[in-house]
């Protein structure tokens, strides 16, 4: 059984993340969306909210959302996963993403990372851009799934 983990802060989840989830779920038997609890970056949303927001979306049946703390490779081992999924937006992502892939391979020899190029329409999209737009009550259409708009704005709007 091919079990993959798609890890991230998801602060908040975007249409770009959702696109990666749906495409990766077609390739692997099971896809675990791993929501990092204690990111080095201070998150705008609590880990519970970040998990809840992803669970609100209509996800493929083989997708599970679980939060994790500590090293990603330990989370993968606990869940019998040896495949990592990461989205690549542009060349600028590549160096950082390779670093993560190499470090995880060093820590867990049988861990392999699969990159999915982000859909073209989401190439510019990031959680931080979404937070910025939401803060000033901008239009989140096409950036974040519709069902999360008010939740995000209620939390962030100044």
**Which residues contribute to the site for ligand PNS (CB under 6 A)?**
7-9, 36, 71-72, 100, 103-104
Q: Crossing angle, helix 127-135 and helix 149-156, to 10 degrees?
A: 70
Question: Shortest approach of ligand PNS to residue 10 CB, angstroms?
Answer: 7
* Cβ count near 23 (within 10 Å): 17
Of 98 and 133, the one with the shorter C-beta distance to ligand PNS is: 98
Of 62 and 113, the one with the shorter C-beta distance to ligand PNS is: 113
> Which residues form the catalytic set?
17, 41, 89, 127
Q: What's the rounded Cα separation, in Å, for the pair 30 and 102?
A: 23
Nearest CA-CA partner of 3 in 33, 37, 47, 23? 33
Question: Shortest approach of ligand PNS to residue 112 CB, angstroms?
Answer: 14
Question: Shortest approach of ligand PNS to residue 100 CB, angstroms?
Answer: 4
């Amino acid at each position: 059984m091919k079990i993959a983990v798609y890890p991230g802060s998801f602060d908040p989840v975007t249409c770009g993340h959702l696109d990666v989830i749906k495409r990766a779920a077609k390739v692997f038997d099971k896809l675990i969306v791993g929501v990092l609890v204690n990111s080095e970056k201070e998150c705008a949303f609590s880990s519970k909210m970040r998990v809840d927001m992803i669970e609100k979306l209509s996800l493929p049946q083989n997708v599970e959302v679980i939060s994790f703390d500590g090293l990603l490779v330990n989370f993968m081992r606990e869940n019998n996963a040896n495949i990592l999924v990461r989205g690549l937006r542009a060349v600028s992502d590549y160096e950082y993403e390779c670093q993560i892939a190499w470090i995880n391979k060093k820590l867990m020899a049988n861990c392999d990372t699969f990159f999915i190029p982000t859909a073209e329409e989401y190439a510019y999209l990031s959680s931080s851009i979404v937070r910025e737009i939401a803060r000033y009550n901008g239009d989140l259409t096409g950036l974040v799934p519709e069902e999360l708009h008010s939740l995000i704005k209620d939390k962030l709007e100044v």
